[in-house]
Amino acid sequence: MKRANICIIGAGRLGRAAISQLAESGHNVMVIDKKAENLKFIREFATIEPIIMDASDINAMRNEVGLEDIDTIIVATSDNIEIIATLLELQTEINFFNNLKIAARAVNKRHARVLKQIGVDWIISPEEEAGIKMALLTVDKNFLNYADSLKEIASGVFAGSVTVKSPHYINRSIRNANLRQFNVNVVLIKRNKETFLPAAETIIQQNDEITIIGKIGDVTTVLQKLESIKK
């Protein structure tokens, strides 16, 4: 079997979004779903044949899935407690499975607490994130323009990315651009096909995609400044 370093359980909307992103990034992705119709979308992305199976069935998971080849499992279904219980039970059986990381979808804060208590490594709350974004639309006039690029990484702290168009920042170093005055930090630059961590003396070039972090209002303000073609 070709190495599948990531397994996604559940090929609904959230699962499909993760699958397409991971496939685009060159990962080998194994996909499991108990409904055959959900896997039709997967054929164009699959490097490994998708599996039609109930992932809460411990015998099927034990016998039909090459767990030794998997580093991370993303449980993208909302009804996932039994699936995660199965994975954790298998983890206690197989020594080489101990380093497995599990990410799971939570539908609310209570669900998230349960997932954390039983041992899930990463918890994804798409509904809560969507609610936060909807609320921010009403209080930040710039939020709508950059909503698709914004991601909350901690309570009240967001990361956002934009392509630099402003003549004011092009050909200036990170230090001289002085974006810190707006209470944000530059954390990544994507230039052509290369992504790197910038230093203080890194020169900002036209069409660099810059990622910054900070409070939401500060982030959207700076994204607008970087994108503006006005001098």
Overall average pLDDT of the 96-107 stretch? 76
Distance separating alpha carbons of residues 174 and 198, to the nearest angstrom: 8
Overall average pLDDT of the 22-35 stretch? 82
What is the edge-to-edge ordering of all strands in the sheet holding 184-191? 151-154, 157-163, 209-215, 184-191, 194-196
Domain ranges (residues) in the chain: 5-126, 135-227
Distance separating alpha carbons of residues 144 and 50, to the nearest angstrom: 37
Q: What CATH number is given for 5-126 in this structure?
A: 3.40.50.720
Distance separating alpha carbons of residues 31 and 17, to the nearest angstrom: 12
Rounded to 5 degrees, φ, ψ at 78 are: -80, -35
Q: Convert the pLDDT of each residue in 135-193 to its tens digit.
A: 555 555 566 677 777 887 776 788 999 999 999 999 999 999 999 999 999 999 999 98
Among 32-46, 79-93, 209-223, the range with the most confident prediction by mean pLDDT is: 209-223
Q: Convert the pLDDT of each residue in 49-89 to its tens digit.
A: 888 999 999 988 888 877 777 888 889 888 899 999 998 88
Burial (0-12, 13-18, 19+ Cβ within 10 Å), 47: middle
Model confidence at 200, in pLDDT bands (50, 70, 90)? Answer: very high
Question: In whole angstroms, how far apart are CA 115 and each of 27, 33, 149?
Answer: 26, 20, 27
Q: Is the pLDDT of residue 41 over 80?
A: no
For domain 135-227, give its CATH number from 3.30.1550.10, 3.40.50.300, 3.90.1570.30, 3.30.70.1450: 3.30.70.1450
Overall average pLDDT of the 19-32 stretch? 80
Question: What pTM does this model have?
Answer: 0.58
Q: Is the pLDDT of residue 199 over 90?
A: yes
